Structure 1
Amino acid sequence: MNHSLRLLLLLLCLQLAADEVIGITRGDFPSDFVFGAGTSSYQYEGGVAEDGRTPSIWDTFVHEGRTRDKSTGDVASDGYHKYKEDAKLMTDVGIEAYRFSISWSRILPNGRGAVNPKGLIYYKNFINEIVKRGIRLHVNLHHLDLPQILQDEYGGWLSPNIVDDFKEYADICFKEFGDQVSHWTTIVEPNVYALGGYDSGIFAPARCSYPFGRTNCTAGNSTTEPYIAVHNMLLAHAKVVNLYRTKYQDNQNGQIGMNFYSFWVYPTSNSSDDIEAAQRVFDFQFGWVLNPVVFGDYPKIMKKIAGSKLPNFTSSQSNLLRGSYDFIGLNHYSSAFVSDNSDILKESLRDFTSDMAARLGTSSNSSASTQFDPSHVVLDPIGLQKMLEYLKQNYGDPPLYVEENGYCFGANISTAVNDTARVDALSDYIKATLEAIRSGVNAKGYFAWSFIDVFEYLNGYKSSCGLYHVDFADELRPRTPKLSARWYSNFLKSDSKAVGIIERSDLQHMFRLSQ
């Protein structure tokens, strides 16, 4: 069967299913709610040594063989060369917005100073290709890939010097690209960035100290560095938001916000100790970032337990931080069970995770984890609804964007393409987002992770997270639509009279017919 006939048959099957199955639709969401998908620079682009780009800390990390499958992002999804093809795929799916990040070291090879004109050209071409298709841009300034040169020079996020360097980089991005960007996110997942990069060492720059690190870290201090890194990220965020608001926002009419990694937390039991432990997780994991941005200071429990390890904000820094957001973005995938571990506070040597005094596990009966690990979680769509409602209740009803959500599993092409489990997960999490909106949450957008398969920071190419499969064994990196891409497309193109959620069995049947 030729490609055109297969496509026609698929579209016909989608419409027939839409007439017969009852579910929610795109039209059930507010008109200003946006649906999209995303990638990030190091995970997507490749071209790591092309046209003036210099290494980031992730280039160094992967070439030291630290990823689980010993892979690198040297080519990744080859977005540096295939962005036009991918922009067309975005149109095919019908996404309304695309979320991506800019490579700092592609724009400023020295971390500051001279701008790389070829880096500017790439992003301008990339942006123009997407915008001309009517797709809105949500751009992250920094998604874990710090220029290695700044890490070498003064320790990157461990030094206050980075605040002004990040502001200079952001200024260039606002000036060069801001007219076409609707939403800016300053820094992605400061909480995970600090824990993975400066406590356990499972992320670049792989800093940790005995007995807390789980990789072969050669330098670091797990007891203090996570606090210092996030402190400087917050100060840099506040400076950049102030810059945007005073210099660019009135003319460019965009919005700017902060992102954090979230997961819902259930106490393992109804004991007061486990309930208090769950609240400590909220304060340490999320309040660590959100309280300063919303209220101007860290949570009281963090200040009490961490003591002098937690840096203080001056009054002027606190004022600059307070309210430094137009929206809050969360990367949310799952939930965890929590039990009390307050006895660990008797120990004199503690890292950030020990200070939190809680164990995270995958179930109420599972062996608990003493180190935070995003993989120790369970799929739980109702947890996303609870998280959105928690943010509304505790942080002043901010505009919220689910900036990452999805489901990743093995990269074998036969199971990766016929990804019914991902369809189920996306469907259920989107339903949960709608329920949060119906309960009064000011949710403004949902972005699937990822638009196409990319290099995954934890698992390299062993995990398949995209709506499109990428054959990383083929130097041409061909893209193949997965079942989830077809489902998402149907949902996005649905209206109040058509059905957006199609049963999994119908999708499987349509998928087989289209092959």
Structure 2
Amino acid sequence: MKPLSLFFGFLLAIVLATSYNIDAFTRNDFPEDFLFGAATSAYQWEGAADEEGRTPSVWDTTSHCYNGSIGGDIACDGYHKYKEDVKLMADMGLQAFRFSISWSRLIPNGRGPINPKGLLFYKNFIKELRNHGIEPHATLYHYDLPQSLEDEYGGWINRKIIEDFTAFADVCFREFGEDVKLWTTINEATIFAIAYYGQGRRFGHCTPPTNCSTGNSCMDTYIAGHNILLAHASASNLYKLKYKRKQRGFIGLSMFALGLSPYTNSKEDETATERAKAFLFGWMLKPLVFGDYPDEMKRTLGLRLPVFSEEESEQVKGSSDFIGIIHYITVYVTNQPAPSIFPSSTNEAFFADIGAYIISAGNYSLFDATPWGLEGVLEYIKQSYNNPPIYILENGHTKS
């Protein structure tokens, strides 16, 4: 049986229904303009890691550190089999596909000359989607920073990333924007900064088996998050100034959204939940909507939290046409010491800053979605952040 590449990503929306009862919903239960689709990333789908001009990304480097793993060297071989995969999507009735663009395939050195073969691949792939009536949704960054930029200046903890990311985005807008109308700048911005710059274990500037003493989990998480917001705003504002009038597309930032509920009805657990929401939602959403970080973070972190200049605040505020939500996990939050749902290798410093304990919601495992959890996420964002347009980019149930 040929590999079905799109299943390397996650089916959107419909997975939630099929996880529990395959007959629970039909297409007729949703509005006509509701798009069902699937999603994946370049590294998880394309393969062809060292073919036709592509150079290593930090994801290549990291994955090869684990017991000689080949990582995404072959993956689903979408680079060679994209036509078969698009046909499979069309046969399933999918209406949208979210994919990411490999920075090191399109611009092998991270900046400078474009790789013509990489450019042609994405043009052909996007056209193939369009020809089958499938809406392409492009993600510019899904953890795969060119290794050359990581080696040069440490990636997302250095403000040089803002200029380089914006230049990469400019190429993508110019070359693909006539066919791509939905753009996500950075995938799962929150969890990316938390896990990969604070933890320093994967896709970051400190990967095993190298010495991880060079990272600073107390600082790097927030520095990376700050630069993520500034890079997103820079690319978004470039799009709106240079391309939006002609291309008529939309651009947003995506975040990993935990469903958060107090473990008990106590005042302490309710307060702990509000702190968790400030760190896990407000960290990115408050600057995007209101131009600055939550007061809870400022009080807790002090000088460890970067500061927006007045100009930067204005650039970030309103820079997202939509918020992309990725939701798999619903958890309880408590003020009392309790075993965390997250592995011990997760960024302990970040969760210590929250001052709360994240524990399993009932019998659900780490990647079990709950309908009430997603509903709570959407309602919270609606009520707390001026009801922004939202795309549910991933959700459902996964099994290891």
Q: Are 2:236 and 1:246 equivalent residues in the alignment?
A: no
Separation of aligned partners in 2, 1:215 and 1:376: 28
- Residue 203 of structure 1 deviates from its aligned partner by 2.1
Change (3 A) 1:94 1:149: same
Separation of aligned partners in 2, 1:62 and 1:172: 27
Q: Are 2:125 and 1:130 equivalent residues in the alignment?
A: no
Alignment TM-score, normalising by the size of structure 1: 0.69
Is the 1:199–1:207 Cα contact (8 Å) retained in structure 2? no
- Give the alignment of 1:274-353 within 5 angstroms: 274-340=269-335, 351-353=349-351
Is the 1:195–1:201 Cα contact (8 Å) retained in structure 2? no
Q: Are 2:223 and 1:228 equivalent residues in the alignment?
A: yes
Is the 2:222–2:306 Cα contact (8 Å) retained in structure 1? yes
Structure 1 residue identity aligned to 2:222: Y
Is the 2:106–2:115 Cα contact (8 Å) retained in structure 1? yes
- Residue 214 of structure 1 deviates from its aligned partner by 12
- Residue 296 of structure 1 deviates from its aligned partner by 0.8
SS at match of 2:117: helix
Say what the alpha-carbon RMSD is for the aligned residues. 2.3
1:391 pairs with one of 373, 376, 381: 381
Change (3 A) 1:166 1:286: same
- Give the alignment of 1:36-435 within 5 angstroms: 36-65=37-66, 70-205=69-204, 207=206, 217-340=212-335, 351-363=349-361, 376=366, 378-409=368-399
Deviations 1:390-432 (A, max 9, x none): 11111111111110113221xxxxxxxxxxxxxxxxxxxxxxx
- Residue 71 of structure 1 deviates from its aligned partner by 5.0
SS at match of 1:179: coil
- Residue 389 of structure 1 deviates from its aligned partner by 1.1
Is the 2:368–2:396 Cα contact (8 Å) retained in structure 1? no
Separation of aligned partners in 1, 2:211 and 2:76: 28
SS at match of 2:258: strand
Change (3 A) 1:270 1:207: farther
- Residue 243 of structure 1 deviates from its aligned partner by 0.4
- Residue 207 of structure 1 deviates from its aligned partner by 3.4
> How many pairs align?
370
SS at match of 1:257: strand
- Residue 205 of structure 1 deviates from its aligned partner by 1.6
Deviations 1:2-32 (A, max 9, x none): xxxxxxxxxxxxxxxxxxx985432332332
- Residue 140 of structure 1 deviates from its aligned partner by 0.3
Change (3 A) 1:341 1:154: farther
- Residue 216 of structure 1 deviates from its aligned partner by 6.9
Separation of aligned partners in 2, 1:365 and 1:167: 43
Give the percent of matched residue pairs that are identical in Structure 1 and Structure 2: 50
Separation of aligned partners in 1, 2:138 and 2:250: 10
Structure 1 residue identity aligned to 2:310: S
Change (3 A) 1:39 1:378: closer
Deviations 1:356-380 (A, max 9, x none): 11111114699xxxxxxxx746431
Separation of aligned partners in 2, 1:22 and 1:72: 36
Is the 2:189–2:253 Cα contact (8 Å) retained in structure 1? no
Structure 2 residue identity aligned to 1:324: S
Change (3 A) 1:196 1:396: same
Separation of aligned partners in 2, 1:377 and 1:404: 12
Higher Rg of the two aligned structures: 1
SS at match of 1:288: helix
Is the 2:369–2:395 Cα contact (8 Å) retained in structure 1? no
Separation of aligned partners in 2, 1:127 and 1:147: 22
User: Could you tell me which residue of structure 2 aligns to residue 372 of structure 1?
Assistant: none
Separation of aligned partners in 1, 2:385 and 2:62: 36
Unpaired runs of 5+ residues, structure 1, are 1-20, 343-349, 367-374, 410-462, 464-515
Separation of aligned partners in 1, 2:353 and 2:67: 27
Separation of aligned partners in 1, 2:88 and 2:189: 31
Structure 1 residue identity aligned to 2:390: L
SS at match of 1:240: helix
Separation of aligned partners in 2, 1:190 and 1:260: 5
Separation of aligned partners in 2, 1:235 and 1:261: 18
Deviations 1:288-316 (A, max 9, x none): 11111111111110011011000000001
Alignment TM-score, normalising by the size of structure 2: 0.88
Deviations 1:310-341 (A, max 9, x none): 00000010001111111110110120111116
User: Could you tell me which residue of structure 1 aligns to residue 6 of structure 2?
Assistant: none
Is the 1:167–1:240 Cα contact (8 Å) retained in structure 2? yes
User: Could you tell me which residue of structure 2 aligns to residue 34 of structure 1?
Assistant: 35
Unpaired runs of 5+ residues, structure 2, are 1-21, 338-347
- Residue 109 of structure 1 deviates from its aligned partner by 0.7
Is the 1:336–1:377 Cα contact (8 Å) retained in structure 2? no
Separation of aligned partners in 1, 2:66 and 2:167: 32
Structure 1 residue identity aligned to 2:125: F
Structure 1 residue identity aligned to 2:359: G
Separation of aligned partners in 1, 2:313 and 2:144: 27
Is the 2:53–2:117 Cα contact (8 Å) retained in structure 1? yes
User: Could you tell me which residue of structure 2 aligns to residue 11 of structure 1?
Assistant: none
Structure 2 residue identity aligned to 1:385: E
